[in-house]
């Protein structure tokens, strides 16, 4: 029969064994992390040395229409004689609208190419990512 003292000694030995095995795992993890961190820092230094300060991939860029001599995005939108025709506008022209970036502008052009010309400005609501607020904000800048 096992005594209480033997049972306690067994549990203590098992606990010590688990402690040292987890300590070993933690040390291996630390070494792997430090190795990864060193590689990342070296990679960041290479990127920083080879290009400008804006080398991060997550930083968005604005595409500008070089064929226009427009000085301000807002001045083009506010000028009623320069309404954007959603049936003929290029993706770069559509980017002048409030709330339209590169991807949404391309989505509008793709939708128009697949489904034909827009019959109303509200047809833009059929495009994923464009809602009633967009129509409301840009209604004065859009035409067919």
Of 1-5, 10-14, 131-135, 137-141, the one with minimum mean pLDDT is 1-5
- List, for residues 80-124, the tens digit of each pLDDT value: 457 889 899 898 988 888 888 899 999 999 999 999 998 988 888
What is the pLDDT at residue 18?
A: 78
pTM of the model: 0.45
Burial (Cβ within 10 Å: 0-12, 13-18, ≥19) of residue 101 = middle
What is the pLDDT at residue 114?
A: 92
Give the number of other CB atoms < 10 A from CB of residue 131.
Answer: 12
Is residue 19 pLDDT above 80, yes or no? no
Average pLDDT over the chain reads: 77
Q: How many CA atoms lie within 13 A of 42 on its CB side?
A: 6
| pLDDT greater at residue 90 or residue 18 | 90
Distance CA 31, CA 16 (A): 23
Distance CA 89, CA 102 (A): 13
Mean pLDDT of 15-30: 77
Contact yes or no for 135/121 (Cβ under 8 A): yes
Distance CA 22, CA 138 (A): 60
What is the pLDDT at residue 53?
A: 52
Distance CA 121, CA 112 (A): 12
Give the number of other CB atoms < 10 A from CB of residue 111.
Answer: 17
Burial (Cβ within 10 Å: 0-12, 13-18, ≥19) of residue 65 = middle
What is the pLDDT at residue 32?
A: 84
Confidence of residue 20 (pLDDT cuts 50, 70, 90): confident
Tokens of 62: 């604005």
């Amino acid at each position: 029969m096992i005594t209480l003292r033997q049972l306690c000694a067994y549990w203590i030995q098992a606990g010590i064994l688990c402690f040292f095995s987890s300590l070993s795992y933690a040390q291996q993890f630390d070494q792997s992390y430090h190795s990864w961190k060193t590689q990342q820092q070296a990679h960041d230094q290479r990127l920083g040395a080879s290009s400008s300060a804006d080398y991060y991939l997550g930083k968005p860029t604005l595409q500008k229409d070089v064929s226009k001599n427009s000085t301000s995005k807002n001045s083009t939108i506010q000028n009623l004689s320069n309404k954007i025709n959603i049936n003929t506008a290029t993706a770069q022209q559509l980017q002048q609208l409030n709330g339209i970036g590169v991807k949404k502008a391309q989505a509008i052009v793709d939708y128009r190419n697949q489904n034909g010309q827009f019959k109303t400005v509200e047809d833009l609501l059929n495009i994923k990512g464009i809602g009633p607020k967009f129509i409301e904000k840009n209604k004065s800048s859009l035409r067919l």
